[in-house]
Structure formats: structure tokens, C-alpha cells
Structure 1
Amino acid sequence: MNLRALVSVTGKPGLYKLIGQNRAGFILESLDKAKIKTVVNLNTTKMATLEDITIYGEEDEIRLLDVLETIKANGGNTPDPKTASNEELRNFFREVAPGHDESRVYISDIKKIISWYNIIKEFPLFDEEAPAPIQ
């Protein structure tokens, strides 16, 4: 799976695709239907690639990439984060991220991960190989 160009921006909903860089910062395009382009300044805004995000585990951290692949492998069916109960969301997450630290992974985190999956499931990202890391 290749999630290197997809980022989450602190304080902004949704996901963004990194499309370039200029002196002011990084140029991002939203992945929603509006395809809004924006520039974020790294001195004032935090962003993280989905490939680098991890989830608190009871023993080791769990890579978001692994959770997204598990969701896809289980048929890609997710509860609706807007209407599902907290217990339904927690049970779903126990299946796709066994061993996550339930005291530090909040329902809001689970909702965000489900919404991210629902955004990216339409893209061929699951079929693309991630580029080899630069050494």
C-alpha cells in the first residue's frame, strides 16, 4: 500500500494529497469532491503522512497501514462513525486492531480512522506498492 503522499493536517478535517512545495510550505489538495488546494506552513502547522501514523498498543505501537489493510481484508465494511454507538465502534476496532490500548485510543480516534478508510478506499492505494525507503 502506498500512503506516502497522503497526509493528515492538525486542525483540518479529512485527508490531503501532497502535490508540491513552495517557499511558503507544502501544497496540498483535499481528497474530498471539492479538490480544494491549500498551502500549509510547517512552522505553524503539523502534518503527518498516513504511512508514519501509529496507534497506541498494549505492548507495541500498531501501524495505521496495518489497520487499514485489515479493514480491507475483512471486506471493507465499517460502521457508520456518525450513527454507530461507542460500543459498536470499540468492538469493530478490537477486530481490526487487536491489542490496541483501549485507555489511550479514544472513540474520536476510531471515528477518524474509519472516516479516513472511507475516503481512501475508492483509490487504488491498496494495490500500489510503496516506494522503497531512501537510505
Structure 2
Amino acid sequence: MDVSFAPGRFAGLEHHFVLRVYFEDTDLSGVVYHANYLRFMERARSDMLALAGIDQRAAHEAGEGAYALREANIRYRAPARLGDELVVVSRLVRLRPAAVDIHQRVMRDVTIVAEAEIEAVFVAPSGRPRRQPAAWMERFTPLLFKGN
């Protein structure tokens, strides 16, 4: 992935990904449809990984594997609406040989709109968990958030 195109950025240990709510993201009432928050968070995670130097596509094409979500616990706190500018803030909170835990919150200014605890597992093409590449672990370690 060409990171010069990546729309996000790191602010210390947190990755910030800005997006705007479009009509296609909303339901009939003009509020963001609940499933779309997962899409917003996925885009932010992909951007964060690319900026950290993780080439998911190359790993997949080389037959090494890819990340799959094992768990996503999401809490909706306030509605986002058509035209809102949101920021998805992501931080790595736990790193294990085959998995990474990421806390994400979707913000509108200072208001938390939604937040989630995500567990992503690195899986072989067979779908079984396997150790993620050592180089990825090395890139993640300095980004690991230690604290609340």
C-alpha cells in the first residue's frame, strides 16, 4: 500500500482517521446505520497498519495469511448524522504472537459516538490462527499503548 495516500496519521501512540458521513452511510432518519461504524473502524485499522509499515496485501498474496476479527465489542453512545465529520481514534492495547487487540473510538469533536474493543487474529490461508510475522511484532511494539 502506498502510504503517501493514507488519509490517517499518528498522534503519539494513537492513530487518527478522519471521515465524513455520507448519505449512503445513513438510514432513513439520516442517522449512521449501526453496521457502518464497523466499516469506519475497519478503514481506520487498515490505514493504521499501513502507516505502521504492515503490508497486509503482500502477506496475503505470499500465502502467509491475513487478519480476521475474532471479537468486536461495540458500544453506541450518540448518533452520528449525515454531514458529520468524524475521527476514528485507534490504539494498540495488547499484542500476542497470533493476535492484536485494538481499542477504537469514533469521535465527533469531543463526543464519543461509538467505541469498540477489537481482537484481530492472524490466520493462515487454511483459516487457522498462526503467529503473525516477526517484523510486524517489531513494528507494533513501539506503538503499544500502556495505560488507560
TM interval, short-chain normalised? under 0.3
More helix by share: 1
- Provide the TM-score with structure 2 as the length reference: 0.26
How does the TM-score come out when normalised to structure 1?
A: 0.28
